[in-house]
Structure 1
């Protein structure tokens, strides 16, 4: 085991070795390809049966206005979905960027801001291009006025929480804590996406596209930031 770890350290010099870069590029490419294929299916109407079935499965069979689960669950889900709202995410991004600037980490602060603004522009641009309306299969459990595809909550949660989780993980030396920090970021983004389905305000494919685009954009920004950092070090 010691020999294996020593070989891995030689293979992965520094914080971001060649294998990590290749894995990151593969993740970005795979996510983008998946979103492209999904978008094509959505445009052709091939996903409607799936979208409808999932939303109906989250409602009482005899009354689709009522979500499944105990009465208090809907209130909890509304609270959790706020973790992906514009107000909450803006507060988190502003606090994180200011902290990084005060700590002298200008590249990391720029990464957070560029990742956030770019993700927001990408999501809203695609919403306008797709023009997909919100679900009409079940009553919404909260008011929404924007277009549906992709889910902005799912996309921006993936962008921001994955970016911050990766930055925190890079600052941590212990591998177990790295996995934990990034795992928490993935979990929060995942939960936010699920809340949109439970509330009936997004089609499942909206959320899948948001997750895919958000993960791809966050990883792409991290790869570029890592490349810039290595160039500056030289």
Structure 2
């Protein structure tokens, strides 16, 4: 029997597994690097301090590098991971799902975000890492430093949005585009947290890593997130 017709689907399946394996390995590496900084002198690795100071004007740690308008852009980026924006965008997407009678997707979305928030809260409670003391904060802070909650929630929220929307898209390139946009948003949030001086770089690495690992777990447990088409 000629199985050539099955080759494209088999290739896509292998690519999907390979992609998630690469993401998982990268996430574990980032998490290991982030955790290692917790055992360094003063609770922050030398690389953490160096990167933080490299983003400030020499001799004036209160002034981030770049023009004032760029600082405003970074504040806009960091807001993408804020609880207000995440909840607001989640409610909008839930409204869309309700109109389309996709109650299962609402449950998946809620479970994904609640689970990520629980993971963040547990890590912050037990690790209780202080916020960076090298620079003046450019945004209000309310919790411990490790991991970056904004980064973790942005990663989980936007990747979940993309995966649920992509589940009904037949074209692979369109699905990859949606997922790519989600990761760009997550990366932008993390970079902005470092730039604004409210997190150590390792806090952000942990946020990306934990978020990625949580999404891998979700995608393995929930068929809806595996982009299977009839």
**TM-score, normalization by structure 1:** 0.85
Could you tell me which residue of structure 2 aligns to residue 41 of structure 1?
A: 36
Equivalent residue number for residue 16 of structure 2: 20
Count matched residues.
224
User: Residues 183-215 of structure 1, C-alpha deviation per residue, up to 9 Å, x if partnerless?
Assistant: 111101100110001100000000000001111
User: 1:112, 1:167 → 2: CA distance?
Assistant: 8
Asked if structure 2 preserves the Cα contact closer than 8 Å seen for 1:31 and 1:213, the reply is no
Contact 1:28 1:220 in 2 (8 A): no
Match of 2:9 in 1: 9
Aligned match for 1:209, one of 201, 206, 211: 206
For structure 1, which runs of at least 5 residues remain unmatched after alignment? none
Change (3 A) 1:5 1:156: farther
Q: How does 1:39-118 map to 2 (within 5 A)?
A: 39-45=34-40, 48-118=45-115
Deviations along 1:113-155, whole A, 9 cap, x unmatched?
A: 1000000000111011111000001111112121000000100
Runs of 4+ in 1 over 4 A off after TM superposition: 3-6, 227-230
- Aligned CA RMSD, in angstroms, stands at 2.6
1:158 is the counterpart of 2:155: yes
Structure 1 stretch displaced more, 132-141 or 101-110? 101-110
Is the 2:62–2:135 contact (alpha carbons within 8 Å) kept by the matching residues of 1?
Answer: yes
Uncovered stretches (5+) of structure 2, i.e. residues with no partner: none
Residue 31 of structure 1: how far off its partner (Å): 5.2
Change (3 A) 1:100 1:71: same
The aligned counterpart of 1:132 is 129
Instruction: Quote the offset at 1:96 in angstroms.
Output: 1.4
